[in-house]
Structure formats: structure tokens, C-alpha cells
Amino acid sequence: MSYNQAFLIERPKNGLDIVQSRLKGAKTLNFEIADYFKERAIVEDNYIKGLQRLINKSFVTDKLDLGTFANVWDSHLGEIQSIIEMHLDFITKLHDEVEVQLRKKVSSDPEWTNLKHQENNLSKLAREYEDKHSKVNKQRSKTEKQSGKKAEAFESKLQETQKALEITHAEWQTEWSDYLEKFQTVDGSRLLNLKESFARFETIQADYFQRRAGMAEKTLNAIMDFDVQNEMQNFCARKSKNFEVNSSKWKKTISSQFEQQKVINSTPNGSASASGSISGSTSGSINAQTASPTASPNTSQNTFQTVSQNAFESRIPVDSEIVPESKHFDEFSSNDEDSLSDVGFNSFVNPDHKKNIQIEIKPSVAGDNEAETARAMSMVMTTLKSTPTIKQHSSIRGRRDSNNRQSNPFINNNGIDTIFGINGVNANLERANSFVQTSSSASSEFSEITNNHRRAISDPEVQSRGLRSSIIETVNVKSQGGEVIKILVTGEIRISYNYPVIRNNPNPIRIRIRKFDTLEKATPNALYLHAVPESSGLYDIDTGLLSISGIASVAVMKYQVHIDPTKKNLYVPLQIIPQWKCEPNLTSLAVNYRVNPECLLSSGDDGGGTLTDLSFLIPVDGDVGTVQSKPTGIWSIEKQRMYWQLDDIDLSIPSERKRTLAQFETKQESNPVPIVVKFARKGQLLSGISLEIEKPTINDTSNGDNIDEGIVEFQEIIHQVVSGKFLVLPN
């Protein structure tokens, strides 16, 4: 239907008012939508500023700690920088292609301007038509009351008035028809401009998301290229090389100390001077000088301590290409005492022996099995997370303790054996102890600390195994008049596992989700949960990854609860009915609420429980001034919102209707709006699901051990229902 057919009516004023109202509203609408996109650009600009502040901060103090993960970190930071550039381009296009075009259409379009000029003539014709139409009606009324010759005179005047009305009406129809055709063209062009503006916005947005997805995919590829085992192996390789060099220095130091003791003991008068020096050369050799027979035993003691300190402070260059002339120090067994005596010690004091002895230092660690390495690293991480209680001895006082200055806690009856793995050196160790004043308190303290640590590691509480879980369901509701219109219940299962790796247990931890059939959809996290084939609600847990997460819980599953459309009220704990009364200068609100006795939370195993953290949030427009509330609430002047924090409600007791009241003095009439409701219910779920450990059967055990050995139990399972987007619409 054309605008001529719809609005070319008998009375011009009625049609003109409709069209003028449409034109005025269209202009206002364009400016309002343009203002919206302007605010949208401001939101984007604030987001850019936030991202810029984010990347300008330094979060990683030492990038060496990242290791090979540095590629992922750099890719992520580069992605943020690209996002900033994309948003800047997004803002520019939003302003030029959307906002400006909307404003230009109603402010500078020539067709729109011509239409406004033509309205003035139409308004004048409409007034003339209405005036002449009124005169015709009056003349007709007078004519009907006359008779005779007077009636003829009035009739003649009536005809003249009607003729003038017809002339004005014909002129109106001509102008009005032309105006309606132009208006239809302008209105269609305006709507097309509005459509194209939104299409341009969505095109810009789609292009942004496409580019954004490409960047995310690039970063994801960098993440997937990161190999956890490779990083752990690189870490071990780097640190083990340093450890091997340090171990070699310790071995050379101990050998030098023992040689000096031999020199002193071989002096006929029991006194000698041992001036052994250790110097690192490019060939990795150790130079030993012969002793001078002029020093006293005290000098020997001091010399031993000095050599020990220098040995630990010096760095010996390593050359992996040297072939040793003598048997390596590590290659002597505990039973090879002759070889140890002849080569390991006598060569340092034998004048016929070469003074330079080349010792091979291995450049890398012997290769290990990757599975063994991963298992060892997991045990190390678990042990480090545990905090064993170590009793500190009262005699240890840091640097001021004289015992610490005079003793070496590593030199005891079995200290060398423990550190270097060498047996059969006790005789030489006894001679070394004669030149060093060893404090019994320090040695006993070291033993006590070691024993306490071993007892802590083997303590049953530390070795206890178990899981902790939380299941939180979120209720999203839209209700009106106490009846549920729409509802969606979603849930999330989180699990934490902060215990040592289960030893001697070939069976994985398997959990069962009871009442799994009550779920509409369920999406497990494939990193941590693995569905058992042909079993509904049965999953295996990857405890290795969970243990790396520590005490932090990990989301292992998200789900949606199946809801019967005819039983939607069963999932809402409260019936809430608001009553609005909006007047020009006063707005009154009463919110009536009561316990829903049909709700599943009102008839739980724990007797219904308590609904906590109940609150109402209501925005009120109309430029509010004074506010009165019962019970006392919180009014936000800035955001124009009313907030009520209400008492907890016992769901097991059918309560009477409760009410909150408020009056708002406004400068203009308000509009009823939805009420936002928040609450929480601990200890129960709407779905009724629960978790349990599926114990392995006898057939599942391959070694025939006790089935209960190594079984993990849930130490704690938290159930909670919270409100999500819970809206109560006005009636």
C-alpha cells in the first residue's frame, strides 16, 4: 500500500499530523542511534587504554624463568598489541561509516530539506480547509432554521461557502498527493540508510572477529608447539651441567685435602707444611706442589681450611676432549682400595709421579628414560609443595654461632659416602678429621634435621590421598506474575588434587556422576577427564595434571540441566511479584515475595536449608530526588538504583508473604522495569547429581595386591546453587 492510499483522507489535518509525527520521530531516532554508536566508540577507546596500560606493565621479572615458554608469552603480548591496532581501526570505521552517515541523512539530505519546506504550505492549506469546513457547517445549521425567502438567501450563501471549501480541498489534494510521494521516497531512503548503517557495523565487526580469530589461532599454534616434557628436559640438562661441574670441584677439593693430610703424616717428626694449591687451566688439569717440611700442625690445619674455601670459590674450566691418563675418581668401587690408595692419593706426594693429572669431566648428563624422568619430576614437585615440620635446634644461631665457623656438617661418619657415593674411605676420613675441629652439636643437629625431614615425608597425614570437589549450579530465570517464563540451569564441576603421586597403583582414579541422566548436555574438559567407553557418567581423572595445579581447583566439566517445560516452577525457590504505581511526580513500588513450596530446594534431604545472600536491585528512572524505603535499603544517587539486602530465609518453613516498600519522588513519570534478584543456597543441587569414586574390581588389579591400597576418596564435595541472570518482569 502506498502512502497516498493510506493517508489521502477527507480531513487534511489528520493525515498531516500522522506524517509529521513520523518525520519528527525518524529524525530523533537517527540522532539517538548515532549517539549510541558514539558511546560504543568510547567503550572501545576505554578498552584500548586498558590494554595499553596492561602491556606497559612488567609482569615477568626474570624472563629466563620462562624457558622455552617464552615463545608463547611473546606471542600472547604480540597478540594484545595487534588487538589494540585493530580496535583503533574499528573506532575510525565506526565513526566514519556509521555515526556520521546516520547524522548526515537527517541533517543535510536535500530531499529531507525540501520536504520540510513543503510542510509549511501544507500546514497553511490544512488550516484554511478546517476554517472553511467550519463555516460550511455553521451556514448549513443557519439555513436549516430559516424558511421562505430568507431560506433561499441562506441557501445561496451556503453554496458559495461549499464551493470555496471544494476549491481549497482540491488544492490540498494536489499538494498533499505530491508531498506524500516525496515523503514515501524520503522515508524509504531513511530506513534504507538505517539498515545499511547497521549492516556496515556488523560487517566491520565480522571483519574484526575474523582477524581476531586468526590471531588467536596463531597464538594457539604457539601454545600447542610448546612441549612440557621438552621444557623439563631442557631445564634438567642446563642445571645438571652446572651441578656436574660443581661436583667435580668438590671431588678435587676432597682429594687435595686428603693428599695434604698424607704429606703431613709422612713427615718423620710429625710436623710438616702442606701448601697445596688448586689452579684451573684451559686443559682442565690440577697442579699439586710438594710439601715444605717447616710448618707446624696448626699450619696444616689452617692450610686445609684455606684450600677447602678456595676450592669451592674457584671455577675450573672444562674441556670435554681430554682423555684421562689415570683411572677416573668416580670409577673406583668401595672394594678397590689398592687402586684408590695408589692413584687417588699417593700420586699427589710421589716425586716420580706427574704433577699434572688430567681428569675428564663429562660434558652432559647420562641419558635417562623420558617416562622415568617425568615421573621423577612429578614426585619432586609434589614433595616441594608439601611443608614438613622441621624442628630447629636452639644452638644454631646463624653466622654468630662458633660451631658453624669451626665445623663442616658434611664431614661425619658417612657424609662423604652420602655425597659422592664412595665407600672405603673411612680410614682417610678419620685422618682428615684429626686436622679439623668438628662440632658434635652441629653434626647432631644436621642428623636431627635430616631425620625430622624423613619422618615428615613418611608421615601418614602427608601421604594421605584424596580429592576435593565443588559443584555449583547457576539459575537463570525470567519470571512475571509469580510464573516462570524462561529458565536455564547450568553447572560447573571443579576438582582439586594436592597429594603425592599414587605409588604402586596401576589403576586410574575413576569417578562416577550419579543421576547423570538428569543432564541435558555435559561437556568434560578433555585435559583432565576421559570418558570411559560405553559407560554413561563414568570418567577417568588425569591426576598428573591435577597435581601440577596444586591446591587450585580446575574446572573439569560444564553441563546444562534438563528441565521439563511443564515443571519450570520446581527450579525457582521464591515467588516474587512486584507492584508498580507510576505517577508524574511519585513512583511507588511494593515487592511481594514468599517461599515456593514446590521448589526442589525446599524439599531436600537436609530439610530445605537456608536461602542466603538474598538481595533485590531495582533501577528507577525519572530523575529521582527523595527516597523512602521499608526495610532500609541503599539508594545509589549516581546510578539511580535501589538495593535491598534481605534476611536469610528458611526454605523448610512455608513462610507468609513478605514485602519491601519504597517511594521515589521524581521530576517526571517513571517506567516499570525488571527487578534483579540474587541469592545462594549451599548444600544442595537442583539437578541432584553427586560424585563418587568408582573402586576397581578384583579383575582390574593386575598385581593381585589389596584393592583398598592406594584408593583415593573425596575428602570434601561442596554443593551450591546461585542465581545468575534472575529477572522479575513488571506485570
CATH number for the domain that contains residue 154: 1.20.1270.60
Predicted local distance difference test score (pLDDT) of residue 415: 39
204 and 253 within one domain: no
Closest by CA to 660, choosing from 622, 627, 623, is 627
Predicted local distance difference test score (pLDDT) of residue 386: 52
- Say if residue 566 is exposed, middle or buried (CB neighbours under 10 Å; 0-12, 13-18, 19+): exposed
**Position with higher pLDDT, 700 vs 536:** 536
User: Which CA distances in Å does 545 have to 483, 501, 555?
Assistant: 45, 11, 12
Q: Is the pLDDT of residue 391 over 50?
A: no
Predicted local distance difference test score (pLDDT) of residue 606: 55
Confidence of residue 22 (pLDDT cuts 50, 70, 90): confident
273 and 220 within one domain: no
275 and 207 within one domain: no
Predicted local distance difference test score (pLDDT) of residue 320: 36
Predicted local distance difference test score (pLDDT) of residue 157: 80
Q: Is the pLDDT of residue 266 over 60?
A: no
Classify residue 13: in a domain, yes or no: yes
Integer Cα distance of 447 and 409 in angstroms: 9
- Within a 13 Å sphere around the CA of 173, how many CA atoms are in the beta-carbon half? 10
Residues paired with residue 727 on neighbouring β-strands, in sequence order: 478, 676
Q: State mean pLDDT over 252-265.
A: 47
Classify residue 422: in a domain, yes or no: no
189 and 45 within one domain: yes
Angle between helices 228-265 and 370-385 in degrees, nearest 10? 80
Predicted local distance difference test score (pLDDT) of residue 424: 38
Domain total in the chain: 3
143 and 40 within one domain: yes
Predicted local distance difference test score (pLDDT) of residue 509: 85
Q: State mean pLDDT over 163-192.
A: 81
Least confident range from 15-24, 32-41, 364-373, 702-711: namely 702-711
pLDDT tens by residue, 30-81: 999 999 999 999 999 999 999 999 988 888 888 888 888 999 999 999 999 9
Q: Is the pLDDT of residue 370 over 80?
A: no
Q: State mean pLDDT over 368-373.
A: 58
Give one DSSP letter per residue of 283-332, joined into a string: T-EEE-PPPBTT--HHHHHHHHHHHHHHHHH------TTPPPSS--GGG-
Confidence of residue 9 (pLDDT cuts 50, 70, 90): low
Predicted local distance difference test score (pLDDT) of residue 37: 93
Let me know: does 16 contact 126? Beta carbons within 8 Å: yes
Least confident range from 288-297, 496-505, 660-669: namely 288-297
Predicted local distance difference test score (pLDDT) of residue 144: 78
Residues paired with residue 541 on neighbouring β-strands, in sequence order: 509, 529
**Position with higher pLDDT, 49 vs 501:** 49
Predicted local distance difference test score (pLDDT) of residue 729: 95
Q: Which pTM was predicted? A: 0.41
Using alpha carbons only, what angle is made at residue 96 by residues 95 and 98, rounded to the nearest 5 degrees? Answer: 70
pLDDT tens by residue, 571-594: 999 999 999 999 989 999 999 999
Give one DSSP letter per residue of 52-105, joined into a string: HHHHHS---S-GGGGGGGHHHHHHHHHHHHHHHHHHHHHHHHHIIIIIHHHHHH
Using alpha carbons only, what angle is made at residue 43 by residues 39 and 48, rounded to the nearest 5 degrees? Answer: 145
**Position with higher pLDDT, 452 vs 159:** 159
73 and 143 within one domain: yes
Q: State mean pLDDT over 324-340.
A: 38
**Position with higher pLDDT, 455 vs 517:** 517
Predicted local distance difference test score (pLDDT) of residue 82: 92
Q: State mean pLDDT over 219-247.
A: 78
Predicted local distance difference test score (pLDDT) of residue 373: 62
Classify residue 162: in a domain, yes or no: yes
Predicted local distance difference test score (pLDDT) of residue 438: 38
101 and 203 within one domain: yes
Predicted local distance difference test score (pLDDT) of residue 336: 42
Predicted local distance difference test score (pLDDT) of residue 371: 58
Q: What is the mean pLDDT of the chain?
A: 72
Q: State mean pLDDT over 676-694.
A: 92
102 and 251 within one domain: no
Q: Domain of 606: which CATH number?
A: 2.60.40.1170
Q: Is the pLDDT of residue 677 over 90?
A: yes
Show Cβ contacts of residue 280 under 8 Å, excluding neighbours closer than 6 positions. Answer: 314, 315, 316, 317
Confidence of residue 698 (pLDDT cuts 50, 70, 90): low
206 and 239 within one domain: no
Q: State mean pLDDT over 293-309.
A: 39
Show Cβ contacts of residue 414 under 8 Å, excluding neighbours closer than 6 positions. Answer: none
Classify residue 237: in a domain, yes or no: yes
Classify residue 472: in a domain, yes or no: no
Classify residue 395: in a domain, yes or no: no
200 and 86 within one domain: yes
125 and 85 within one domain: yes
Classify residue 555: in a domain, yes or no: no
Find the radius of gyration of the CA atoms of the chain. Answer: 45
139 and 38 within one domain: yes
Classify residue 382: in a domain, yes or no: no
Residues paired with residue 718 on neighbouring β-strands, in sequence order: 470
Q: State mean pLDDT over 324-344.
A: 38
Domain that holds residue 722: 568-729
State percent of the chain over pLDDT 70: 63
Q: Is the pLDDT of residue 283 over 60?
A: no
